[in-house]
Amino acid sequence: MLVGLSINAIDNPDTEFRRVGGKLFNKETKFILRIALLSNFKWIARKLGLKLIPSDITKFFMGVVKDTVNYRLENNIQRNDVLDTLMKIRDETQENEGKLTIGEIGAQCFVFFIGGFETSSSTGTFVLYNLVKYPEVQEKLRNEIRTILARHDNKITYEAMQEMKYLQMVVDETLRMYPPVFQALRQAARDYKVEKDNFIIPKDILVSIPIYAIHHDPEYYPEPDKFDPDRFNDENKAQRHPMAFLPFGHGPRNCIGFRFGLMQTKIALIQLLLNFRVYASEKTPDPIKFDPDATPLTSITDMWLKFEKL
């Protein structure tokens, strides 16, 4: 789906891709601290030679993309994936129109990789946790999946997933309760007057958008700690301010890889719910306590669940 490589991370947990992804988000890399320093104290970050992404991770991923691009060009290989789409855009762009470089192609692929690595697994984990606590939702979702797949020759296709409205509602409600990132940082491009409070946000000021707090504001979501997928049916969404739901940001600078990550999450959930019924175990945390040093939002303890084969 991304660069056309088969990683087999489940059978081979020591694969280089998994090591690189794990290193990016582990505590030793101090990803949150890097973001804070680069956003608020750029001069300190420059003095320390600090980069958001460690050099060895950048070198590895750019090397993979460069080698894959060269191999495809030399062997006239075309695939239906993100990398091939970016290569076609580059080929169709004139030199004076800003043709994509290999570095820029690699950077875009890397963003997709980040968006689909830890966020997909953490979102899927939180969905399963909610389904364990609300078994009636789990059964309703499983019935929807079976009914819709029966109309699509029991194949998990993009078109079939688009029909799974309740699946989308369940995922959205989980993203509301457990957004991958608890805040978004944006820099004001110009002076902006907040009319309601007669307050001016100065140009170049860094603004923190408290996503987690917005998602748990009872003004928008009554009983915010309750899991209720119906919050995201068409009627309820139409009555709510569109900026009250920001799991991946919003506008032209939202997360470019969020659709890719969501698709991975949905495919995994469909496969699991078709084959297993999920229960709580004696080790299932209740309530969840978050790891203050982790990004994306993660439970500080392991998520233990029981799976019963259907």
Identify whether 22 is part of a domain. yes
pLDDT tens per residue across span 248-306:
878 766 666 677 778 889 999 999 999 999 999 999 998 899 887 777 788 888 899 99
pTM: 0.78
The verdict on whether residue 109 carries a ligand-binding annotation is: no
Residue 25: per-residue pLDDT: 66
Identify whether 136 is part of a domain. yes
**CATH number for the domain that contains residue 94:** 1.10.630.10
Nearest CA-CA partner of 298 in 172, 132, 180, 175: 180
How many structural domains comprise the chain?
1
Identify whether 48 is part of a domain. yes
Name the residue range of residue 61's domain.
16-180+257-309
Identify whether 115 is part of a domain. yes
Encoding tokens for residue 10? Answer: 């489940």
Looking at the DSSP bridge assignments, the partners of residue 184 are 209
pLDDT tens per residue across span 124-157:
999 999 999 999 999 999 999 999 999 999 999 9
pLDDT tens per residue across span 79-118:
887 788 888 888 787 766 677 788 888 887 777 777 666 7
pLDDT tens per residue across span 44-74:
877 887 777 778 888 888 888 888 888 888 8
The mean pLDDT of the chain is: 85
Identify whether 250 is part of a domain. no
Residue type, 94: Q
Nearest CA-CA partner of 69 in 57, 79, 83: 83
pLDDT above 70 as % of the chain: 86
Encoding tokens for residue 177? Answer: 């309760």
